[in-house]
Amino acid sequence: MSTVAKLFALPLVLAMLLVQLTLIPVMLPAFLVLLSSSALMAGALKLLHPTQTDEVTNEEFYGSILLLHMKSAWAALAGVVLAIVGPFQMVSALVRSAGSRPANTLRPTSVLITGASSGIGAELARQYAKPGVRLVLTARRVTKLDAVKAQCEALGAVVTAVPADVTDADMMASVVAAADEDAPLDLVVANAGCSESNVPGGSPLWHKAGVVNSTNVMGTVNTVSPAMERMVARGHGQIVIMASVASAGSSTNPSSVSYAASKVWGRAYGQGLRGALKGTGVGVTTICPGFVDSEMVGGKDARKSGWLPSTNCPGFAKRFLESMTMPTDQAVRHMVASIGRNAGVVTLPWWYLASLWAPQMPHYNLMPPFVEYWLAPSGQVKPPAPAGTKKAFRAPSSSEEEDASSPRITERTPSVSSSEEEDMLPSASPSLRKLRRAGRAVRFCVSHLDGLQLSR
């Protein structure tokens, strides 16, 4: 990092720590007040409407009020937790950036990278290229892709360059399938992306939004989904989603509306996927780079001629922005190391972590990624059953058809839920019923705490 960037980073991090620490005295009382008020409110409602308390609708009503307060209390508690954990996380990022990192355990021998014709994708290809490694590189510009292929072959890798557009779902499914059948994929990097600035056309708002989103959002899905299915089936693999610091918080960015929105999606998708695939043997890393020297931000030559912003930029501002731009090889070395240790979310440079976290603080539903990952139940996603064991579709036989067309007399059974059955039991005393109802109200609250996802 350059001296200018360091000078900027230090006060920024200190300011973020200060903001986070000041949240503790604000959020802790809020948590206590909300939690106790939820109990008081439930009690008061019970006293005011004692005659209605036996109705199921009321049970739901109380449940929803309790739920509202519990959510708010969770918001406050999350604020406290973030305020305490945030600084630790930052310090740990600082320590890790200073050297002591978990080991890079991934030694991929079969890798697929989209958007490999230039910038980050091309550099990732070069850094993974070595003898014994099979690379499948995709992009649309054939000449550029072939140049990268030649560089990687010179480094000893076996390379297949496939001209493909990530917005074409069928094409991507067949590219992934062919690559995986050739050599089972260890690593798939959904890197291809574009921003308003490098999509030709008129207004970014109405001419470019579709292109940016279909490339960055659906392009990622089209790459990741077919690979994920195969990786989960064999219980091994690593998926990488290239987001951006443009996804900071629940970021909106008036100067690149669709790009920022697509990268918010990318980060959310990557983080969610990581939890969803927990226990399957498939890891997910979401990378959020800051400025990296590539075609997207103008490239070296363009930078020399003043890439950012090309006009009306005071010299000092331009020098500052340029000083924050990471050389591609340096940025990609960080990425490769982070992918290797199955990092959840990677921010480059590390101090952008502050910008990713700070705006999330007041929001009850957004937890630090490792807490979300920790809470996610393992084994939600199961590998598909082997083809032979699948139930084949069978047309009904003629006798079955006859049966289906002829009127049937079926025994009608009353639809009574197990909880209603319990209450109808003659042995259930009034206090036991009340207890059961209270239990159901608590279950109702818990099952709706979507932030915590406890019910799943």
Ligand X SMILES: NC(=O)c1ccc[n+]([C@@H]2O[C@H](COP(=O)([O-])OP(=O)(O)OC[C@H]3O[C@@H](n4cnc5c(N)ncnc54)[C@H](OP(=O)(O)O)[C@@H]3O)[C@@H](O)[C@H]2O)c1
Give the binding site for ligand X (CB under 6 A).
114-121, 139-141, 144, 165-167, 191-194, 198, 215, 219, 242, 244, 289, 291-292, 294-297
- The least distance separating ligand X from the CB of residue 163, rounded to whole angstroms, comes to 8
**What sign has the CA pseudo-torsion 42, 45, 50, 53?**
negative
Rounded to a whole number of angstroms, the minimum distance from the CB of residue 211 to ligand X is 8
Q: Which 3 state secondary structure label does DSSP give 2?
A: coil
**Of 23 and 187, which CB lies nearer to ligand X in the complex structure?**
187
Considering the complex, state which of residue 116 and residue 321 has its C-beta at the smaller distance from ligand X: 116
CA 323 to CA 423: how far, in whole Å?
Answer: 70
SS3 per residue for 114-131: ECCCCHHHHHHHHHHCCC
Give the residue carrying structure tokens 């720590």.
Answer: 17
* CA distance from start to end of the chain: 43
Distances (CA, A) of 428 to 340, 358, 416: 59, 52, 16
CA dist 423 and 345 (Å) reads 49
Residue 216 token pair: 């960055």
Amino acid at 201: G
Distance, in Å, from the CA atom of 132 to the CA atom of 111, rounded to the nearest integer, reads: 11
Q: 189 in helix, strand or coil?
A: strand
DSSP alpha helix (H) spans, 343-449: 353-357, 369-375, 398-405, 418-424, 430-448
Peptide bond between residue 349 and the one before it cis (omega within 30 degrees of 0):
yes
Q: How many CB atoms lie within 10 A of CB 231?
A: 26
**Which CB atom, from 108 or from 119, has the smaller least distance to ligand X?**
119
How far apart are the C-alpha atoms of 185 and 134, rounded to whole Å?
9
Sheet holding 158-163, edge to edge: 158-163, 134-139, 110-114, 187-190, 237-242, 282-289, 345-348
Work out the angle at residue 316's Cα, subtended by the Cα atoms of residues 310 and 322, and round it to the nearest 5 degrees.
60
Output 300 or 443, the one with its CB closest to ligand X.
300
CB of 4 to ligand X, least distance (A): 17
CB of 143 to ligand X, least distance (A): 9
Instruction: Identify the DSSP state of 133.
Output: -
90 vs 240, which CB is nearer to ligand X? 240
* Nearest-approach distance from CB 167 to ligand X, in angstroms: 5
226 versus 289: smaller Cβ distance to ligand X:
289
Of 259, 269, 364, 373, which is the active-site residue? 259
CA distance 131 to 159: 11
Mention every residue, 6+ apart, whose C-beta is less than 8 A from residue 162.
136, 137, 138, 175, 179
Least distance CB 443 / ligand X (angstroms): 43
Q: How far is the CB of 105 from ligand X (least distance, A)?
A: 24
Q: How many CB atoms lie within 10 A of CB 143?
A: 7
Active site residue 128: no
> Minimal distance in Å, beta carbon 191 to ligand X?
5
**Total residue count of the chain as it appears in this document:** 456
Q: Kindly tell me which of 113 and 232 has the beta carbon lying closer to ligand X.
A: 113
Write phi, then psi, for 114 (nearest 5 degrees).
-95, 155
Residue closer to ligand X by CB (options 140, 234) is: 140
Find the shortest distance in angstroms from Cβ 54 to ligand X.
58
**For ligand X, which is the closer residue by CB, 237 or 290?**
290
Distance CA 302, CA 30 (A): 51
- Which residues are the active-site residues? 259
